[in-house]
Amino acid sequence: MDTCEVMREAYSREWNNFVKTGDCNAEIIRPQILESWKRSRSNDLNPFNRNEKAFIEDPKKLEEILYANNFLVALAKPYMQILAEVVDETGFIGFLASKEGYILHTVGDPALLKSAENGFVRVGEIRTEKVAGTTAVALCLTTLQPVQIFSAEHYNSFYHDWTCSAAPICDEHGDLIAVLNLSGNYRLIHKHTLGIVISLCKAIEHAIRLKLTNTYLNNCIDSSEYGMAILDNKNIVKHLNKHLLHYSTKLKGDLDKPVGDILISDPPVSRLLENDNRFFEKSITVRNQDRLTTLLINTQSVYDEENKIVGKLVVTREKKEVHRLVHRMVGAYATFTFDNILGNSEKLLHVIELAKNVSKTAARVLIQGESGTGKELFAQAIHNASNLKDGPFIGINCSAIPSELMESEFFGYDEGAFSGAKKGGMPGKFELAEGGTIFLDEIDCMPQEMQIKLLRVLEENKITRVGGNVVLPVNVRIIAASGKNLGELVKQGRIRLDLYYRINTIVLDIPPLRERKTDIPLLVDHIANTVGHKLGLQKKRLSEGFIADLMSYDWPGNIRELGNVIERAIIVSGEADTLTKNHLDTIHFQLGTDAAPPVVCSETSMTEIRTLKEVERDAIMFALKQTNNSHVEAARLLGIHRNTLYNKLKEYS
């Protein structure tokens, strides 16, 4: 009798003793086997018949179990196929069991598998100790250790003709995922069998960890707000995240194509990659759901451990999103809303109501009003009430930009467009305002040649940088403003008629302060509180005489002038807790008490009449003298914008 049969006989004798008495020779039966026998006996398992609950009869439940373990089975199948090839024609069969003990997948000789299905090896079989008694899978599930069981070591006699080798498959934390088992005739027992099973389990564990890591990394890439593409060293797309897939021509699974076939752009990405393996902030235009979108694209070469290029990482982001971030950082956004526009006069309320209505549309707006009436305040309020409120708000004073620089300021320029152009070029105000509002103040100062170029933008919603040849789509709302009557300027030939009709879909005429004097008390109270808080002073009371004098003045500088007068009065009042008419010594022309009084036109003084330009020039000279040549303070004293003051200084040399 060979060794195998001797072992089988000894184990069978002890098994019979245990089944009859509950005891056996502990020197023959291994401790872990004996403990499992005891647990099986305490569970009232029949050692001679298979448990009726050893198989999942409900097809729906079985389908749910297989679906829940689909990821595991898919990863393990290639390795189990290797196992099948190794044990081909050896009389062994292998199977994969879940951590709950359900058989999920089987491999081996087809004839043997068919025979085993009628016995103990089939998908849906339950191999836990409570159901099947002592088996290699059951012990592995309990101890999380590799184990080999021979013949009568099985608690159920139904398995005594078999030897089984099982090993656990665990995750990186040591938690059980599944069990791999290899079973054959007891005469074929060999230590190498368990070694094969352990090796395959380690390979499956590695594959699972690699798959989970790749899935996690892909999810991280997909979760990015940037578009990302991973290319090999031949610019073939190997991975495309969800964000960039939005702009591609392919489905997610349809990759392994040249990047130029998947991401169609102008200029082509493939052409950019031919010229440089690494670049930053290049602009490309792609079509997204029948809409052209400008992306900023960056590429970075990927190197292996030998410092050889093995691929490239392409990162994109919509240009307007980058610009929005920049605007939030540098403050290119609107701060005022309609709540900041104070007044109850009928004229003002009519304009506010019209502005609120137009803010809900995409209509272009022309705001007309004298200097200091709050044209930009209305423009910002319209922006903040529109669906573009999350976009940038960029204000441009057309009178402050030299005509020769206006085109590059508005539309930007490409690298090398002119001498001194920055490397990489520079976006213009229209690009920076993408997805928001651009406010063109003093549009009447725009030269004719620039009016023609602006007209094209209004008609086509596209721009081209100076020195560039790429047409960039822009989604920008335009609000124009002027302190002059543009209709009159059209008659004079200073404003193009076609441009005039393009920008004045809705005209808002802001009433000057002299036409809404009933709002002065409300404005004065608000300005006094704001200025007092800014200067760190307690709130001052306003005397009736103070308000009366303010109401009697016509305010040619409007609210801006009123604000300057209130601030000066608060400073002049010193420690006084009440502002009186005595603190308004500078109200007339804001030129101080030493200023020459205005000339009164009468029949007896016609020879003393001075021209308006002479009066304006003298007022500027006096303001500069009073402020020690501070242009900012002089402009505030005169109630005009400092850019207007600069223009006047040039005019009067």
pLDDT at 603 over 60: no
**Average pLDDT of the segment spanning 469-478:** 84
pLDDT computed for residue 288 by the predictor? 64
| 10-66 confidence digits (pLDDT tens) | 999 999 999 999 999 999 999 999 999 999 999 999 999 877 778 888 889 999 999
Contacts (Cβ under 8 Å, ≥6 apart) of 253 = none
pLDDT band at 330 (very low <50, low <70, confident <90, very high): very low
**Average pLDDT of the segment spanning 353-365:** 92
pLDDT band at 271 (very low <50, low <70, confident <90, very high): confident
pLDDT band at 134 (very low <50, low <70, confident <90, very high): very high
pLDDT at 557 over 60: yes
Distance CA 161, CA 206 (A): 33
* Cβ–Cβ < 8 Å for 133, 155: yes
pLDDT computed for residue 195 by the predictor? 92
- Six-digit token string for 214: 């790749």
pLDDT cut 90: percent of the chain above it: 36
pLDDT computed for residue 325 by the predictor? 55
pLDDT band at 598 (very low <50, low <70, confident <90, very high): very low
Q: What are phi and psi of 145, to 5 degrees?
A: -125, 150
In terms of Cα–Cα distance, which of 72, 46, 180, 59 is closest to 124? 59
pLDDT computed for residue 426 by the predictor? 80
User: Which domains does the chain possess?
Assistant: 3-215 (3.30.450.40), 224-319 (3.30.450.20), 331-511 (3.40.50.300), 518-651 (1.10.8.60)
pLDDT computed for residue 8 by the predictor? 92
pLDDT at 335 over 70: yes
pLDDT at 331 over 90: no
pLDDT at 605 over 60: no
Distance CA 513, CA 347 (A): 11
- Six-digit token string for 448: 């004719």
Q: What are phi and psi of 168, to 5 degrees?
A: -80, 150
pLDDT computed for residue 416 by the predictor? 75
Distance CA 269, CA 249 (A): 14
Residue 244: beta bridge partners? none
Distance CA 124, CA 120 (A): 10
Distance CA 420, CA 193 (A): 77
pLDDT at 114 over 80: no
pLDDT computed for residue 607 by the predictor? 41
Alpha-carbon torsion angle 193, 196, 201, 204, nearest 10 = -140
**Average pLDDT of the segment spanning 342-365:** 93
- Give the 3-state secondary structure of residue 437: strand
pLDDT computed for residue 591 by the predictor? 37
User: Over the chain, what is the mean pLDDT?
Assistant: 84
Q: What are phi and psi of 300, to 5 degrees?
A: -140, 130
pLDDT at 281 over 50: yes
User: Among 105-114, 183-192, 579-588, whose mean pLDDT is lowest?
Assistant: 579-588
Residue that is written with structure tokens 């605007």 in the block: 327
pLDDT computed for residue 613 by the predictor? 74
Helices (H), 224-345: 242-245, 259-262, 269-275, 319-330
**Average pLDDT of the segment spanning 260-285:** 78
pLDDT band at 289 (very low <50, low <70, confident <90, very high): low
**Average pLDDT of the segment spanning 563-591:** 76
* Cβ–Cβ < 8 Å for 157, 142: no
| 75-87 confidence digits (pLDDT tens) | 999 999 988 888 8
User: Among 236-240, 300-304, 551-555, 639-643, whose mean pLDDT is lowest?
Assistant: 639-643
Q: How many CB atoms lie within 10 A of CB 242?
A: 15
pLDDT computed for residue 600 by the predictor? 33
DSSP symbol at 442: T
Q: Which residue has the higher pLDDT, 172 or 154?
A: 154
∠ CA 437-466-430, nearest 5°, is 5
pTM assigned to the model = 0.55
pLDDT computed for residue 586 by the predictor? 52
pLDDT computed for residue 589 by the predictor? 41
pLDDT band at 609 (very low <50, low <70, confident <90, very high): low
pLDDT at 329 over 60: no
pLDDT band at 217 (very low <50, low <70, confident <90, very high): confident
pLDDT computed for residue 88 by the predictor? 80
| 484-531 confidence digits (pLDDT tens) | 888 888 998 889 999 999 988 899 999 999 999 999 999 999 998 888
Residue 311: beta bridge partners? 232, 302
User: Among 112-126, 150-164, 235-249, 540-554, whose mean pLDDT is lowest?
Assistant: 112-126
pLDDT computed for residue 205 by the predictor? 95
pLDDT cut 70: percent of the chain above it: 90
pLDDT computed for residue 602 by the predictor? 32
- Candidate ranges 142-156, 205-219, 446-460; pick with highest mean pLDDT: 142-156
Q: Which residue has the higher pLDDT, 323 or 165?
A: 165
pLDDT at 631 over 60: yes
pLDDT band at 597 (very low <50, low <70, confident <90, very high): very low
